[in-house]
Amino acid sequence: MKTNVYVIYGGKSAEHEVSLITGFSVINALDKEKYNVYPVYISKEGHWCCLELQKSSIEDVKHLQKHSSTTVGSSMGRFLTEDFKEDEKSIIFPALHGTNGEDGTLQGFLELLEVPYVGNTVLASAIGIDKVVMKEIFSKYNIPQAKYIFFNYHHWANNPENICCRTEEIIGYPCFVKPAKMGSSVGISRCHSPIELKKAIDEALLYDQKIIVEEEILGREMQIAVIGNDEPQCSVVGEYIQVKSFMDYEAKYVDGQLIPVIPAVLTPHTRKKCWRMQVKYLNY
């Protein structure tokens, strides 16, 4: 019997469009000879809908937006009671990005329902989505990282000059301003002056109440996927060659200005060091 794989994508997040790209990729990559693949779209309003496995159905944005006629609760209930084959060999494959999907909320929901799913646990998801929490944990275990400060909307509203001074004293320019719980470079700015810093913080606050400011580190950016629990396995090391000064949203998803190099050109020593660091992070 084939395993039923329910790929969930879309979602109530500023990264909705990025999730569509991920969802399409996962759906297209899954071997239809081995799996029964079911696309499950979540609209920007939070409505769930199990779609037909047809390109016109799963990738037509106008078609997707039609699935918002019922309440959020009833749409979720319909999926769980009518669409999801609980009595068969079934698993959820989350392809969501950002809040309400990649932050532990969906994972916790599935844990309560005792539904198996792919990916990080509730705790790992919650830590990974919050850059401040993640970096505080890295600090505890002396994991190398960029210098940073963080603050919330209340601190900024009451004493912006203090935050600007701390940025200059601790971080310096250029620096990066980021919403703490946002990915895909949404709301991120590179700043060279106090004027740019203030503008960037106001922009980042549109996406999150907690903000992090990091120093710029010049160098190459490597990417490694790690799977497994007790015996983690690392993928080959990949790298993106950037045209812009940093990988903003447009560079990642609009302009096509990132050049993937897989595997990355590294010495054997550096490659093994990258793998060791990734496994070390995972074990924490």
Residue 93 sits in a domain whose CATH number is 3.40.50.20
Domain that holds residue 234: 222-283
The angle at the Cα of 271, spanning 129 to 237, to the nearest 5 degrees, equals: 50
Query: Taking 80 as the threshold, does the pLDDT of residue 32 lie above it?
Result: yes
Q: Is 121 found in the same domain as 8?
A: yes
pLDDT category at 282 given cuts 50, 70, 90 is confident
pLDDT band with cut points at 50, 70 and 90 for residue 4? very high
Predicted local distance difference test score (pLDDT) of residue 281: 76
Report yes or no: 16 and 44 within 8 Å, Cβ to Cβ: yes
Task: Give percent above pLDDT 90 in the chain.
Answer: 56
Peptide bond connecting 263 to the previous residue in cis, omega within 30 degrees of 0: yes
CATH number of the structural domain spanning residue 272: 3.30.470.20
How high is the pLDDT of residue 177? 96
Domain end marker among 197, 215, 233: 215
Cα–Cα distances in angstroms (integers) from residue 20 to residues 5, 15, 46, 87, 188, in the given order: 17, 9, 14, 28, 21
Number of domains in the chain: 3
> Which tens digit of pLDDT belongs to each residue from 66-109?
555 567 777 777 787 777 777 779 999 999 999 889 999 999 99
Give me the pLDDT at residue 240, please.
87
pLDDT band with cut points at 50, 70 and 90 for residue 58: low
In this structure, the answer to whether residues 186 and 274 fall within a common structural domain is no
Last residue of one domain, picked from the residues 90, 111, 127: 127
pLDDT band at residue 248 under the 50/70/90 scheme: low
Q: Are residues 58 and 119 in the same domain?
A: yes
pLDDT value of position 81: 76
| 257 SS3 class | coil
Residue with the larger pLDDT of the pair 246 and 134: 134
pTM metric for this prediction: 0.84
pLDDT band at 59 (very low <50, low <70, confident <90, very high): low
Give the tens place of pLDDT for each residue, 165-179: 999 999 999 999 999
Q: What are phi and psi of 26, to 5 degrees?
A: -65, -45
Asked if residue 149 and residue 232 are part of one domain, the reply reads no
Whether 236 shows a pLDDT value over 80: the answer reads yes
| 147 in the same domain as 79 | no
Pairing of strands 222-223, 210-215: unpaired
User: Is the same domain home to 81 and 191?
Assistant: no
Residue 64's pLDDT is 57
Centroid of chain to Cα 280 = 21
Residues 196 and 266 grouped into a single domain:
no
User: Cα–Cα–Cα angle for 62, 63, 69, nearest 5°?
Assistant: 100
Q: What pLDDT shows up at residue 77?
A: 78
pLDDT tens sequence across 178-229? 999 988 678 899 999 999 999 999 999 999 999 999 999 988 889 998 888 7
pLDDT score at 258: 78
Average pLDDT, the chain: 87
CATH of residue 176: 3.30.1490.20
